[in-house]
Amino acid sequence: MPGFSWLDSAALAFFLLSWLGYHFAIEVSGARRRSLNVRMNEHRQAWMEQMLGRENRMVDANIMSSLQNGTAFFASTSLIAVGGVLALLQATDHVLTAFADLPFGLTMTRLAWELKVIGLAVVFVYAFFKFAWSYRIFNYAAILLGAVPQHGQASEEEGKAAARRAAAMNVVAGRHFNRGQRAFLFALAYLGWFVSPYIFVAGTALCLLVMWRRQFASDAIAALND
């Protein structure tokens, strides 16, 4: 790649493969069934089943509202992050001078700096699209929740089918939200590349370890097991 050493290229390849590999492990492979995300999806479905028997569904509406608000917060944060990253492009000369004075910094060309900044912007733009789409899907889920008939207004099978649709839409919204958060975590690892490809690799490996532990060995999983 222009402006990059073979170490930079190898570190970037490790980063991309780690992201894709984690996506496969947590969303495609059989190991996903033991993950926190899938376990919580089961509780999303249980939530909708319990909602069927409630006449007053204000609690369910409040829960859905909190999910939407959290997603909106992260979407707004993504836009702020994109703006901050783009501002770095305007301060390229000052930043390169500062990095040159660091004892552990490697020599970086202007082209390499700008490509790294653009790459970071791409990560945050991806996160924004995921959070924005998740927010929209949570809106759809709220509509489906409102469309679930109350007891006695439809047959039992129709009520269960409506609840399953609302649960499925909620699961999809949660999946895209998780992908957006995953992008945020990998963005933190990506920041190490501005200092050194070695730190980039170490940060990516640490990011994978933290995310794996949260999904398969965290106190949240222990709480579900209890």
The whole-angstrom separation of Cα 117 and Cα 221 is 36
Residues of the chain with pLDDT under 70: 1-3, 95-96, 98-107, 152, 154
How does pLDDT run across 44-100, given as a tens digit for each residue?
999 998 888 888 888 889 999 999 999 999 999 999 999 999 888 877 777 667 666
The first and second tokens of residue 188, run together, are 């933190």
Model pLDDT, residue 99: 64
Model pLDDT, residue 142: 93
The whole-angstrom separation of Cα 76 and Cα 132 is 9
Model pLDDT, residue 107: 65
Model pLDDT, residue 102: 63
Model pLDDT, residue 3: 60
Q: 137 near 176, Cβ under 8 Å?
A: yes
The whole-angstrom separation of Cα 166 and Cα 145 is 6
- Using alpha carbons only, give the angle 14, 39, 75 rounded to the nearest 5 degrees: 60
Q: For the beta carbon of residue 43, count every other beta carbon within 10 angstroms.
A: 11
Tell me the one-letter amino acid at 128. F
Nearest Cα neighbor of 145 from 50, 36, 75, 37 is 50
- Which positions ≥6 away from 111 have C-beta within 8 Å? 2, 3
Q: Give 22-28 contacts, CB < 8 A, sequence gap 24+.
A: 22/182, 22/208, 22/211, 22/212, 23/179, 23/182, 26/215, 27/175
